[in-house]
Structure 1
Amino acid sequence: MTNNYQGKIITLWLVFLLGILFHTQLGLMPLFHGLSVIESQKATSMNQISSIMWLMLGFFTIPILAIIATVFTANRRYRVIHFGLTIFYSILNLAHLVLDLLLPQVIWYQITLMVILFLIGLLLNLVAFQWMKAPIKNHLGDLRS
């Protein structure tokens, strides 16, 4: 049985992104209820909203770029960089989970989702590590390490 590391990695990133989309809600919940995203954020200044949205866009865009790169790139340098990226995201997810637990009002379904996302991240770390260590096939099918 061959390991399709790239397919597994892409699937895990997509599952992670869907979970993050649900967790952050990206302003979709107010829209579903006919409210303006800006109206739902009255307690926050527009500058804070803008900064948070840019950070969220970056957090979301980096895995999207990793998915695209994983489809088209399998060289050793990219595999190492990608593995480092998955570790970085796992650290961020753990920090996010801890910070969510420290909130005055814990929302347990969000905590549960963050635990699931953290575990998905650990699985992504494992598969990315296996891919990083796997031999590289050249265009003729020969193995190179």
Structure 2
Amino acid sequence: MEPLSADEIRRSIVNSSKSQVKALTLPIGYAELPWESLDFLGWRDPKAPNRGYLVVRREGGVTGVAVSTQSTGAARRFAGLCDLCNTAHHVSDIALFVARRAGKAGREGNTVGTYICADLACSLYIRGLKELDVPQGDTATPEVRAERLATRLETFVQRVLN
């Protein structure tokens, strides 16, 4: 992914009010992000940990989606699967993220949700740049996994937009 400016990120958010976008806190270490290893920019807001953001380059520009989740609670011994990157994690490391739909549907309270890596670091997991605690069954190459991630992420973004 090519680096994004703070203004590009803020302008990209499609499902939040202007005041919510203004209050958005960029990820810790924003200036040192490993952009070349990211398929999308995903982070939990350091000032509002139940809030997160997914920002992705798509045809026609950049689209950002604000998502929210609840605290995951105590660690459990079961495994869960991220719907975006298909990486297995302990259940407490997977979270249900919900996004208000864009436009009129969102103003009416309609949402979409999916299970995602709780730290929103899917790109780093599929490339082996972040350690996993659960054995993985997927033997596809990082490039293939990145293509699959891009497809699933596009599907989620489309659900927010439509």
Do both share a fold (TM > 0.5)? no
TM-score using structure 1 length: 0.29
TM-score using structure 2 length: 0.27
- The structure number with the bigger radius of gyration is 1
Greater percentage in strand? 2
